[in-house]
């Protein structure tokens, strides 16, 4: 029989996500960001001390505080719903009824199994049913959900669901192509491989719309 720890190691090493939402506890926001930074600072200090580092050295003296701030305010800042971008939408007055694709949105996220970076590009598309969204909002939505401990499949789905809610249509799709540094720099150390995930909603489940979207992604943008 396998021990729990072994089972959890296996799940993590194989990058299997267990649920569609980020596994947050109910009390996740009972303490303030500043209280979290104070607490994480001590935790990072403890990790470095255990590793045998000399924390009086000028170079790493500030590391615990720097890492704590970075965790709470930057790379995991998207856990806090207060930071969710307002997805302001507009009426589609010019009646553009074709597909709109926002491609090559840079993704910086963090693998929740190893806490190492996931770096890549997201391509997002929707077909308006009368409502449109500001282009930069699509980038902001990608950024917001990226700034969490993540699995790529969940990130892809969350982006689609958020846009479906904002636009009031199921016709939304997202493809993410990203490198996982936990695969590229450790473990199997394969620096070339990348992971592609996709979520196709509504009309994008039909081969023609899907093909059109994937063809746009391949277009080389020259300017
Ligand atoms: Zn990983």
pLDDT at 96: 67
**Per-residue model confidence as pLDDT tens for the chain (223 residues):** 556 676 677 666 666 666 678 999 999 999 999 999 999 999 999 999 999 999 999 999 999 999 999 999 999 999 999 999 987 888 877 666 789 999 999 999 999 999 999 999 999 999 998 889 988 999 999 999 999 999 999 999 999 999 999 999 999 999 999 999 988 777 767 778 899 999 999 999 999 999 999 999 998 877 7
Give the residue ranges of DSSP H helices in the chain: 4-13, 33-50, 58-61, 63-69, 135-146, 152-167, 181-184, 207-218
Full set of structural domains in the chain with CATH: 4-83 (1.10.286.10), 89-218 (3.30.1130.10)
Whether 113 is catalytic is yes
**CB of 147 closer than 8 Å to CB of 109:** yes
Look at residue 13 in the predicted model and tell me its pLDDT. Answer: 66
Query: Of the residues 111, 123, 162, 174, which is catalytic?
Result: 111
Which has the closest alpha carbon to 151: 115, 125, 123? 115
Q: Annotated binding residues for Zn(2+), as ranges? A: 111, 114, 182
Ligand 1 centroid to residue 110 C-alpha, Å: 8
Four-point Cα dihedral 45, 48, 49, 52, nearest 10? -170
Active site residue 19: no
Binding residues: 111, 114, 182
- Torsion angles phi and psi, residue 98, rounded to 5: -95, -175
DSSP character for 112? T
Please enumerate, as own/partner, the contacts of 20-29 that have beta carbons within 8 Å and a separation of 24 or more. 20/154, 20/157, 20/158, 21/154, 21/158, 22/79, 22/112, 22/148, 22/149, 22/150, 22/154, 24/79, 28/79, 29/80, 29/81
| 207-211 own/partner pairs: CB under 8 Å, 24+ apart | 209/99, 209/127, 209/171, 210/173
180 is catalytic: yes
How high is the pLDDT of residue 121?
A: 97
pLDDT at 42: 98
pLDDT confidence of residue 183: 80
């Amino acid at each position: 029989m396998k021990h729990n720890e072994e089972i959890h190691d296996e799940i993590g090493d194989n990058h299997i996500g267990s649920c569609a939402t980020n596994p947050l506890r109910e009390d996740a926001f009972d303490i303030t960001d500043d209280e979290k930074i104070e607490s994480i600072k001590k935790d990072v200090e403890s990790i470095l001390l255990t590793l045998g580092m000399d924390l009086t050295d000028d170079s790493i003296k500030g590391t615990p505080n720097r890492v704590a701030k970075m965790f709470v305010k930057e790379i995991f800042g998207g856990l806090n719903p207060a930071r969710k971008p307002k997805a302001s939408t507009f009426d589609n007055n010019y009646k553009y009824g074709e597909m709109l694709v926002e491609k090559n949105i840079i993704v910086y996220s963090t693998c929740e199994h190893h806490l190492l970076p996931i770096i890549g590009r997201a391509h997002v598309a929707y077909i308006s049913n009368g409502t449109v969204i500001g282009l930069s909002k699509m980038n902001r939505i990608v950024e917001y959900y990226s700034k969490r401990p993540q699995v790529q499949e969940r990130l892809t789905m969350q982006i689609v669901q958020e846009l479906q809610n904002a636009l009031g249509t199921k016709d939304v799709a997202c493809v993410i192509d990203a490198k996982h540094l936990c695969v590229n720099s450790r473990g199997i150390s394969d620096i070339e491989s990348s992971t592609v995930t996709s979520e196709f909603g509504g009309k994008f489940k039909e081969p023609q719309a899907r093909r059109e979207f994937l063809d746009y992604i391949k277009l080389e943008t020259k300017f």
